[in-house]
């Protein structure tokens, strides 16, 4: 993607500290990108940044390691573990004599290189001193590829767009009533049959194992962890159409193109269901380099609490047996999920009835991801005039998505229990990449800042001013977006 400067005073998410120092580093034909040490990841980050700069400025921007770069002038990218910066932290200094980006991990360098991309103009890198690190470890977005299917290329482009805002988790909702979206070799009918449907009756689709691996690699290269979700035991109509033997007795197995929820579930008393779950989770775990596997668990309406709880606990044990950490929608907190399970809060805000079990889970040791429907749901309409989207969790203006605090909402929990924030985009009404972008930007930008920036630094008026520069960039790059 082409670089487009938003200016030194418009970085989103706002850095921990940023001091504009005036005169900056002027880009010339002599400008080089120098990286150290001579390490594969550092080289890749330096090379990609230089390529971006080249596209943007038309300058040659050679990339070298220091030994080869005698007399080189320009941009230094330095991995210095001994600095002891936070995992994703970095420092950035730009002055007439040159630019230095430093971090203690390659991930920190990558995050810092996004700041550099934001502030760099076609002729200079403005004078600045930045010291930055995130507030929360989990800054995510979820894309529902089940209600409508999106191609690998579309998802890759979206990944590029969100990495620019230092998001680090892409949660893929890979299965629902309308479609199953990833090939599982041990259960081939899931993708072949379960994948051939979507909301509204379109053809659907699925990612082959190779395509899924390609998608994950694209995300990993941008330091985004892919968290795959297989939603169980409800939201499972597509799986049941493919494998009717694990449906409850009398269940009518037919493709579903509507948008109602709560009508489907596995036959949780059938041993074949546990075998099915083990096969799916085992294969998906082996295909997924990240530590997490999402088991869904939401909106199960036809099972008793005992049936639901038993299934959830067995499924979490299966996830753990395959070496992953389980995460589930907040219903799992009431189902006796062990403290190793991450709980994702999704209810409207503030709903104390739903928050109490989340706080109790946190008190028992579970980590919490906050996705309050009334703040983070990117499928909610901006206002009454928004054509796309729903409104069951309320209307969510750009300001409303920005002006809230996850710690304040969650309330008293042990230190470290709040892992971070995630903005889900359900796609019942969303059918194209342009529509994804329209619903995500600029609300997801605000969630990125909620997750990254210090609570004390957040202020709507300042944020809104910074956002204007990003809107201009989206317009220049053809990224669609809502209005502030
Ligand atoms: C609720 S939030 C759901 C999804 C829908 C969404 C629409 C959650 C865990 N479940 O199945 O797509 O509302 O906004």
Q: Is residue 390 within 6 Å of ligand 1 at its C-beta?
A: yes
Share of the chain above pLDDT 70, in %: 98
Residue 1 confidence (pLDDT): 47
Residue 172 confidence (pLDDT): 99
pLDDT, tens only, 12-53: 999 999 999 999 999 999 999 999 999 999 999 999 999 999
Residue 349 confidence (pLDDT): 72
Residues annotated as part of the active site: 299
Residue 73 confidence (pLDDT): 78
What is the CA(85)–ligand 1 centre distance, in A?
Answer: 38
Among 46, 56, 23, CA closest to 473: 56
pLDDT, tens only, 3-22: 689 999 999 999 999 999 99
pLDDT band at 2 (very low <50, low <70, confident <90, very high): low
Among 404, 379, 450, CA closest to 143: 379
Residue 350 confidence (pLDDT): 74
Q: Which of 3-12, 309-318, 405-414, 466-475 has the weakest average pLDDT?
A: 3-12
pLDDT, tens only, 444-462: 999 999 999 999 999 999 9
Which mutation among 199, 299, 331 tests ligand 1's pocket best, with the greatest number of atoms within 8 A of CB? 299
pLDDT, tens only, 190-205: 999 999 999 999 999 9
What is the CA(417)–ligand 1 centre distance, in A?
Answer: 24
Which mutation among 142, 236, 298 tests ligand 1's pocket best, with the greatest number of atoms within 8 A of CB? 298
What is the CA(122)–ligand 1 centre distance, in A?
Answer: 43
Residue 445: its H or E element: helix 443-452
Q: Are 398 and 450 in contact (CB under 8 A)?
A: no
pLDDT, tens only, 231-255: 999 999 999 999 999 999 999 999 9
Which residue minimizes the CA distance to atom 10 of ligand 1?
A: 298
Q: Which ligand 1 atom minimizes the distance to the CA of 144? A: 12
Q: Is residue 329 within 6 Å of ligand 1 at its C-beta?
A: yes
Q: Domains, the chain, ranges and CATH? A: 8-132 (3.30.379.10), 138-477 (3.20.20.80)
Calculate mean pLDDT across residues 388-412: 97
Q: Is residue 391 within 6 Å of ligand 1 at its C-beta?
A: no
Q: Which ligand 1 atom minimizes the distance to the CA of 299? A: 10
Which residue minimizes the CA distance to atom 9 of ligand 1?
A: 298
Q: Are 199 and 258 in contact (CB under 8 A)?
A: yes
Among 410, 380, 409, CA closest to 393: 380
pLDDT band at 321 (very low <50, low <70, confident <90, very high): very high
What is the CA(431)–ligand 1 centre distance, in A?
Answer: 16
Which residue minimizes the CA distance to atom 13 of ligand 1?
A: 426
Q: Which ligand 1 atom minimizes the distance to the CA of 380? A: 14
Q: Which ligand 1 atom minimizes the distance to the CA of 371? A: 2
Residue 429 confidence (pLDDT): 98
Which residue minimizes the CA distance to atom 6 of ligand 1?
A: 426
What is the CA(72)–ligand 1 centre distance, in A?
Answer: 54
What is the CA(154)–ligand 1 centre distance, in A?
Answer: 22
Distance CA 351, CA 152 (A): 37
Calculate mean pLDDT across residues 193-222: 98
Residue 451 confidence (pLDDT): 98
Q: Which long-range contacts (CB under 8 A, 24 or more apart) does 80-87 make?
A: 80/104, 81/105, 85/133, 86/133, 86/134, 87/137
Q: Is residue 299 within 6 Å of ligand 1 at its C-beta?
A: yes
Q: Which ligand 1 atom minimizes the distance to the CA of 427? A: 12
Max Cα separation, the chain?
77
Q: Which ligand 1 atom minimizes the distance to the CA of 176? A: 11
- The ipTM of this complex is 0.93
DSSP, collapsed to helix, strand or coil, labels residue 110 as helix
DSSP, collapsed to helix, strand or coil, labels residue 172 as strand
Which mutation among 236, 261, 393 tests ligand 1's pocket best, with the greatest number of atoms within 8 A of CB? 261
Q: Which ligand 1 atom minimizes the distance to the CA of 426? A: 12
How many residues in the chain? Answer: 484
Share of the chain above pLDDT 90, in %: 95
Distance CA 478, CA 397 (A): 22
pLDDT of 178 > 70? The answer is yes
pLDDT, tens only, 322-378: 999 999 999 999 999 999 999 999 998 777 789 999 999 999 999 999 999 999 999
Which residue minimizes the CA distance to atom 8 of ligand 1?
A: 298
Residue 65 confidence (pLDDT): 87
Which residue minimizes the CA distance to atom 5 of ligand 1?
A: 426
What is the CA(451)–ligand 1 centre distance, in A?
Answer: 22
Please state, as a whole number, how many other Cβ atoms lie within 10 Å of the Cβ of residue 88. 23
Strand partners, 144: 173
pLDDT band at 180 (very low <50, low <70, confident <90, very high): very high
pLDDT of 443 > 60? The answer is yes
Which mutation among 171, 426, 427, 439 tests ligand 1's pocket best, with the greatest number of atoms within 8 A of CB? 426
Tokens, residue 125: 């890198």
Average pLDDT, the chain: 96
Q: Is residue 346 within 6 Å of ligand 1 at its C-beta?
A: yes
pLDDT, tens only, 66-103: 766 566 679 999 999 999 999 999 999 999 999 999 99
């Amino acid at each position: 993607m082409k670089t487009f400067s938003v200016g030194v005073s418009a970085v989103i998410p706002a850095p921990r500290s940023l001091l504009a120092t005036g005169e900056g580093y002027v880009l010339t034909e002599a400008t080089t990108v120098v990286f150290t040490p001579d390490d594969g990841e550092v080289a890749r980050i330096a090379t990609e940044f230089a390529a971006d700069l080249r596209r943007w400025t038309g300058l040659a921007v050679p990339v070298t390691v220091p030994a080869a770069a005698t007399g080189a002038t320009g941009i230094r990218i330095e991995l210095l573990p001994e600095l002891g910066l936070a995992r994703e932290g970095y420092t950035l200094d730009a002055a007439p004599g040159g630019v230095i980006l430093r971090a203690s991990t390659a991930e920190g360098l990558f995050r810092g290189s996004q700041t550099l991309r934001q502030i760099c103009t076609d002729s200079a890198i403005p004078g600045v001193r930045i010291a930055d690190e995130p507030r929360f470890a989990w800054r995510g977005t979820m894309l529902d590829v089940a209600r409508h299917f999106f191609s690998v290329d579309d998802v890759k482009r979206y990944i590029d767009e969100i990495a620019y805002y230092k998001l680090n988790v892409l949660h893929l909702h890979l299965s629902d009533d309308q479609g199953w979206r990833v090939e599982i070799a041990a259960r081939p009918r899931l993708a072949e049959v379960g994948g051939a449907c979507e909301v509204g009756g379109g053809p659907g689709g699925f990612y082959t194992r190779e395509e899924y691996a390609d998608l994950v690699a694209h995300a990993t290269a941008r330091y985004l962890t892919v968290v795959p979700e297989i939603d169980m035991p409800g939201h499972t109509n597509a799986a049941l159409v493919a494998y009717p033997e694990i449906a409850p007795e009398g269940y009518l197995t037919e493709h579903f193109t509507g948008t109602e929820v709560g009508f489907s579930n596995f036959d949780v008393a059938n041993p074949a269901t546990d075998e099915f779950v083990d096969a799916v989770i085992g294969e998906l775990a082996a295909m997924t380099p990240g530590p997490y596997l999402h088991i869904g668990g939401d909106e199960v309406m036809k099972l008793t609490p005992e049936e639901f709880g038993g299934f959830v606990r067995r499924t979490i044990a299966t996830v753990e047996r395959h070496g992953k950490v389980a995460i589930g929608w907040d219903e799992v907190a009431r189902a006796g999920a062990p403290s190793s399970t991450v709980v994702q809060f999704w209810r409207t805000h503030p709903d104390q009835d739903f928050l109490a079990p989340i706080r109790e889970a946190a008190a028992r040791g579970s980590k919490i991801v906050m996705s309050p429907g009334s703040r983070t749901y990117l499928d909610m309409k901006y206002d009454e005039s928004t054509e796309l989207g729903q409104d069951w969790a309320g209307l969510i203006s750009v300001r409303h998505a920005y002006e809230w605090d996850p710690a304040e909402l969650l309330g008293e929990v042990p230190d470290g229990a709040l892992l971070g924030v995630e903005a889900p985009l359900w796609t019942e009404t969303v059918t194209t990449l342009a529509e994804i972008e329209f619903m995500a930007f600029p609300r997801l930008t605000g969630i990125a800042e909620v997750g990254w920036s210090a609570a004390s630094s957040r202020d709507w008026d300042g944020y809104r001013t910074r956002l204007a520069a990003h809107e201009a960039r989206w317009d220049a790059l053809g990224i669609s977006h809502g209005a502030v």
